[in-house]
Chains A and B, each alone.
Chain A
């Protein structure tokens, strides 16, 4: 009995070991050594000659980490990344074709940015979104940008202060949305969410080169003032999956107020509007919230937009006594008017583009589902949207005025 039991366990053990051995013998199907991987830090997609044109930026590991021990240290003169461009009828065809030229398999999980050329953006980006959601190793958290011109050019550009350009761009947009709030960066899944939402629109920032020259040689980054840099530009507006136009930075800024994405922003304003309309002072918004309340007024929607915020004075260019409550109140009104103007202007452009990047459709659906249902049935959102009237109410607080209580100008003897 005992022996049988023992035999049984042994049998079980060997049965258990069998697949292990066979699997070890027949190799590791999914294993990929690090030296076989082309770590992609960014990708760009464009449409050219009726074909997809994809550009990939692959990190060159032997550059940059020369301080690491072992034989890892390559020459520092080798570029920190390499790019190559492929074309194909579908995106995957293009990606697979990359293996014709690259010694390494593409590994997109570490990609940080995706740049879309404006030709492609105008044609439609649905296939791109699909591939990002479908492919297991594609990363949904890449930041998306639009580039007017050949998208691949952007990826060739070397960056200073960072070797990993993709990560650098990511840092750039994150800092921008945190400090400047012209527009928030949009990640691939957010783009998909926005395009799939009731409003079906999304705004994607532009990534551009400040000059036509592309700095793509390592020797060129040796200078302190690069003639051409990467920069964030306008805001591209997508409706459905096609780009319908641009918003300028100022309009984008107004949009940030409308969509409650202001984290911190600088507002130039006239400190004494009665005396001079000149913008001579700056106010930094430190906190701002926007509440949008849709309301049906017989034949159209009215959006009550309450913008409430607080911040500090950073710069004053006129004679003003900051201890004077009336002067402060006057300044607050001036700031509020500035914001109002920005918002109104932005709304005008948005209306002109007829693209609901403001997300008003979502708001209306959430607060008035019956009317939304009828709108959806009649498929007349565009006309409803055109008829929307916005009523922005801005309230800004000056919480502090910095370290000096008077402007420097006011103590100057004149």
Chain B
């Protein structure tokens, strides 16, 4: 377990599994360079550079850096130039230690210079874009932070767009991410703890939270789980998510992910803990309850009335997406009495020529839609329109005309599909894609009774679920009425005086009490002014 905590101390548990003992540097420069070169396998992108600076020492020094990970200009200007060009008055009998200290203290005009004593730590820094400076006769080496690789510029988030609100999204760079967060939370309470996870990927993982607002228990738990991860690779935030989330076999996500720094900041301000992972623009937020997944950051950028309305729409879309095909099956094969007569007759007329039973028809269409959807994600952008035409025209219209499926079923399936996209979080929207099929099977066997029974199972499951100790259905079950201001509806911002989550943090008040904008206390009206 290689873990490096930058500044903050808490939670530095001892590594739990054995790693080969770190190898200290040898005195000989050449031996060190050889060893490093051997370890890296003489990869072509590693630059070894020997040089001598007579004024420092007679023996040669060496730079090592990885081309592409460093900013070459910076290396030239801040490392190479000072070290190679500066001529200091020659000190007689200069020892290696003197030279080392001289370089370290006077000759590296660069922010972060670290010392490394073992090969492993040096290699780690090398992969982070540091430039290593090795001295002959020293068992420590210097590492100057010259990191600067090609990275994507900040773009609009692609998966979580908003109409009104900040348009910038996280990039793959961890440092950019933390910086974006810092820019939003200019408080000394913001804590950023950094971990390296993954034996081979050494992915940087930053735990970000607000001291005093995030719950200490949750933090402890997250740290424990992060430290317990033993894997060789972390390539995306889902790796972390799956390793640390509760209730391993649940279809429901208990950790949110977001591409938006404002959403992350919002979550952190409400007492959640953010996890930013290097190499992916998706950051994680935990603990998350079921209702968090229906809140979009845009809810707070729009007026409260429309936000509340949209939120109710999202919940209904969730239920429609989960239940509509099942309800259709249940109603048309079990409870035909529930339909208005005219609708029943027209449904019956449509089904006259359809060869399949309702269940088969629904399964067929649902599967078709899932195939189309997957195709839509995978296919090259240039042939996208073709697929849409095929999907809409051929499968929709022609299937009905050919009498394979009834028109009502196409409507049901399309509406189900559209509803699924209303839910702001893809994670929770995906969770019900599979549940939908189970629902359909049960509905075809036991009708509404079956649907209710399965809903009961889901409800029990969700009521028993926890996200880092927070009940998944809180604050509705268990009920905490004062936290309901931001669940089904969103009350005006000035009324949200306390943090709405059931987190366990200390400071719950987030704004003053009487924030409702009102006209200033009425002034005494001057005599006769209001007579027309």
Contacts and interface: CB of A to CB of B under 8 A. Distances in A.
A310 interface: no
Interface string B400-444: 110100110000000000000000000000000000000001101
A401 interface: no
B315 interface: no
**Interface residues of B, dominant DSSP:** helix
Interface of B: 249, 332-334, 336-337, 341-342, 344-354, 357-358, 400-401, 403, 406-407, 441-442, 444-447, 457
A34 B351 contact: yes
Contacts of B347: 34
Nearest to A19: B445
Given A70-B407, A109-B337, A110-B344, A61 B400 contact: no
A9 B457 CA distance: 14
A414 interface: no
Interface in A224-238: none
A274 to B, nearest CB: 55
Given A41-B341, A164-B341, A164-B345, A31 B444 contact: yes
For the complex of A and B, 10 pairs with smallest distance between CB atoms: A71-B353, A109-B337, A61-B348, A72-B349, A71-B403, A61-B349, A65-B349, A31-B333, A69-B407, A72-B350
Contacts of A3: none
Contact of B341 (A30, A32, A72, A110): A110
Contacts of B444: 28, 31
A227 B444 CA distance: 49
A405 interface: no
A167 interface: yes
A397 B38 CA distance: 112
A65 B346 contact: yes
Nearest to A109: B337
Contacts, number: 111
Given A31-B357, A35-B351, A72-B346, 20 more contacts: A20-B445, A23-B445, A28-B445, A30-B447, A31-B333, A31-B445, A33-B332, A33-B333, A34-B333, A34-B347, A35-B352, A61-B349, A61-B352, A62-B349, A71-B352, A72-B352, A110-B337, A137-B337, A167-B341, A167-B342
A147 interface: no
Interface in A71-113: 71-74, 107, 109-110, 112
9 contacts: A16-B457, A20-B441, A28-B445, A33-B333, A35-B354, A71-B354, A72-B351, A74-B349, A109-B336
Nearest to B397: A69
B356 to A, nearest CB: 9
Contacts of A164: 341-342, 345
Contacts of A30: 334, 446-447
A74 B401 CA distance: 14
Contacts of A70: 350, 353-354, 400-401, 403, 406-407
B249 A9 contact: yes
Contacts of B357: 31, 33
